[in-house]
Structure 1
Amino acid sequence: MSTPRHSAHAATSTEDTTRWWATAVSDIEPGVIRLRGYPVEQLIGSVSLVDTIWLMLRGDLPTTTQRELLEAALVAAVDHGPQAPSIAAARMAATCGVGLNSAVATGVNLLGDVHGGAGQQCLALLDRLAGHDAVPLEETVAAELADHRARGEHVPGFGHRFHPVDPRRDPLVAAVRAAADAGHVTGRHLAAALELERQLAAGRNRPVPMNIDGATAIVYGELGFDPELSRGLFCLSRSVGILAHAWEERSGGRRIKGPLPPPLLPDYDGPEARDLPSGRMAP
């Protein structure tokens, strides 16, 4: 006679079951939707989307300064044109018969460590620099740069393949500086980033500009976001641009749009044309 198999957790109570997906984010029951405790009907028309993003991620509504800084960072990272791989991929996907949501997901899923992840890496670096109190910032930054050079690694958040000066840097830096001067943020991440920028430019004919990843890392660091969450916020922001590009491409009506306009084809640098040896050919 076979013995019924029972999981160690088979005899769960209703309370155990309902705690399986326990969450502090939202409270849902028939006729009720509360986000972090606030009834959604009170939020609608009373708070902005940026307020709601902060609420959902941080647990309560932001101050005016927190809202303004978060909104500035989100707006700055919305789009960087179809030469950005994430946007190009979304546009190509939109011509291949997939749904608009799939085209957007195609673009967002390209935001990895190399394309889209530098902000997270920069914030992790700024967290380390801002957390040193015993050593002067100038020395801490010099040691960090020496370590990067010894490993042959670039400094995330600085340098741009396209912009001599990233137009998004100055307004974000100015916004954080104003908030720091008013005592709303510490300014420690800002000071670390500016010292990095200063030392990277030393002895060069052309400075190494802070890019969007560095500028938004300052904002998210001053606002107390975790480095990994800063990448999530970048994805949230860039998804707006990706959606706009995917919709524009979909509306254009072109089918199966590839990376090169026809009749162009990629260069081929493999072996010359050749025949399969006769002994390998099927009878």
Structure 2
Amino acid sequence: MDSDVSDWWSTSIIDMEPGKINLRGHPVQDLIGNVTFPQMIWLMTRGELPSDEQARLFECALVSAVDHGPQAPSIATARMAVTCGLGLNGAMASAVNMLDDVHGGAGEQAVELYGWAYDAVKNHVPIERAVADAVERWRTERSKFIPGFGHRFHKPEDPRAPRLLSLVDQAVKDGIVDGDYASIGRLVQKHLNEEKGRPVPMNIDGATAIIYAELGFAGPLARGLFCLSRSVGILSHAWEQMNQGGRNKGPTPPHYFWTYTGPKNP
């Protein structure tokens, strides 16, 4: 009977009893003060500690996506939730729940797209053909939108992507990552540019997906990591709104009205 209870949940993450907390086999008191928060995220999700160099590149991706302003649905939701009386926990929960396929999911999707091309290259398909096939497959099986490329707001390019790519390039030179996914990501952009006859620059999701893939994170974790990163901005905006005050503020000022498309009065 005891084993029925103790085995109901099984985990390799935490071993705990009175006076003892081991996380992935490491006593928590040995981790405190000796590992950074990015290293801790890696340990908890991957089961091992990264090298310092891996952790620094990982941290760059986390830092890059913390916020994108009140026009981002998740941030707007956090601020609106506060004006409706929710506390920080409720505001954060409401906002994180906005991070799904359309808003917040492109990083995971880009990792998957890159992975299709990567697997084809490993099976001796020329890399440019592998990329073109992956893009066409995405359009056939998933969506006409190629995740990680183009931006409705940042023209001509997302300022975060070139910086992240330069850090990946340095990590390749330093032998921290192989650079395979960076090559694939750049070729996706080249392929889209040639298709459209105009620049279709990589955005934050495409760039962070390269880092997460280079570091060996699974696609679904890329979405979870984006949620962790964006939670910093969500918390900041919710706290700011809480201090600014305001009651029941909707997404637009009250003198703006929606367009009614229903039946007219007889």
1:142 aligned residue (132, 137, 142): 132
Matches of residues 112-261 of structure 1 in structure 2 within 5 Å?
A: 112-132=100-120, 133=122, 134-148=124-138, 153-164=144-155, 165-202=157-194, 204-261=196-253
2:150 counterpart letter in structure 1: G
Q: Which residue of 1 aligns with 2:7?
A: 19
Deviation >4 Å, runs of 4+: 148-152
Unaligned runs of 5+ in 2: none
1:71 aligned residue (51, 59, 64): 59
Q: Which residue of 2 aligns with 1:7?
A: none
TM-score by length of 1: 0.88
Give the helix-richer structure, 1 or 2. 2
Counterpart CA distance in 1 for 2:140 and 2:115 is 21
What is the Cα deviation at residue 143 of structure 1?
Answer: 2.1
Counterpart CA distance in 2 for 1:154 and 1:34 is 44
Farther-moved stretch of structure 1 (205-214 vs 232-241): 205-214
1:159 counterpart letter in structure 2: G
| Maintained 8 Å contact 2:113/2:135 | no
What is the Cα deviation at residue 19 of structure 1?
Answer: 1.6
User: Identical aligned pairs, as a percentage?
Assistant: 53
Per-residue Cα deviation, 1:98-147 (whole angstroms, up to 9, x for no partner): 22101011110000101100111110011111122211101111222334
- Greater Cα radius of gyration, structure 1 or 2: 1
Per-residue Cα deviation, 1:176-195 (whole angstroms, up to 9, x for no partner): 11112222212111111011
2:92 counterpart letter in structure 1: V
| Maintained 8 Å contact 2:105/2:223 | yes
Q: Which residue of 1 aligns with 2:94?
A: 106
What is the Cα deviation at residue 203 of structure 1?
Answer: 5.6
1:30 aligned residue (5, 13, 18): 18
Unaligned runs of 5+ in 1: 1-12, 275-283
Counterpart CA distance in 2 for 1:62 and 1:196 is 29
TM-score by length of 2: 0.94
What is the Cα deviation at residue 198 of structure 1?
Answer: 0.9
What is the RMSD computed on CA atoms of the aligned residues? Answer: 1.5
What is the Cα deviation at residue 249 of structure 1?
Answer: 0.8
SS at the partner of 1:202?
helix
Counterpart CA distance in 2 for 1:220 and 1:122 is 10
What is the Cα deviation at residue 59 of structure 1?
Answer: 1.1
Farther-moved stretch of structure 1 (37-46 vs 76-85): 37-46
| Maintained 8 Å contact 2:116/2:134 | no
Farther-moved stretch of structure 1 (231-240 vs 17-26): 17-26
Counterpart CA distance in 1 for 2:6 and 2:187 is 51
